[in-house]
Structure formats: C-alpha cells, structure tokens
Amino acid sequence: MAATIAPAGRPSGRARPPTRRQLEVLALVATGVTRQEAADRLFITERTVQNHLADAYRSLDVNSLVGALLALGWVQVPDGLFAGPRSLPASRIPRA
C-alpha cells in the first residue's frame, strides 16, 4: 500500500517512529554538543549525524531540534509561556 503524501512531500499520519540511533543522536545534540562532537562520540561522520537528524525530523514531522524534543515529550512548554506573536503587546513584537 502506498503512503498518502501530505503537502511538502511528507507522509501523512503513517510515519514510522525514529530509530534507536536517531534518538541517540537527538539526545546527544540536545545536550548541547556540536554535530562534530556527537559524530566523534558515536564513531560516525558529521554527515551521518546530519542524516540521522534529518531522518528523525522527517519521521516526527518537524523541522527543528526543538520541534523534535517537543514531539517526543522530552521537553514541555509551560502553559501561557508562549502563545505566538498575537499574545504580545504590539510594542513588544520584534520588527524585521
């Protein structure tokens, strides 16, 4: 059976969970080590670290480390801490 494709080419609702190795890489990078340091600790190349991160993001349907950590439930945002730009007074919204 073919996976249905959502906009942006991501599988919709049928993504597999991240692999053990992808989770290991996510955990290391989340502690603040660089990609190169993670690669050295895991005896892989920095490019492989990047590939593991990209594959993990894709399987979690996110596009950042913070998104992955939130999706996995490894971090939580306290209620009311951030509700988007509309929650800020106009004078506090950053200007580009």
Residues 45-76: pLDDT tens digits? 999 999 999 999 999 999 999 999 999 999 88
Domain that holds residue 61: 16-73
Query: Is residue 88 one of the residues assigned to a domain?
Result: no
Query: Is residue 11 one of the residues assigned to a domain?
Result: no
Query: Is residue 64 one of the residues assigned to a domain?
Result: yes
Query: Is residue 46 one of the residues assigned to a domain?
Result: yes
Domain with residue 32: its CATH number is 1.10.10.10
Number of domains the chain contains? 1
Query: Is residue 49 one of the residues assigned to a domain?
Result: yes
Regarding pTM above 0.75, the answer is no
Buried b (16+ CB within 10 A) or exposed e, 59-84: bbbbeeeeebbeebeeeeeeeeeeee
Query: Is residue 63 one of the residues assigned to a domain?
Result: yes
Query: Is residue 79 one of the residues assigned to a domain?
Result: no
Q: Is the pLDDT of residue 4 over 50?
A: no
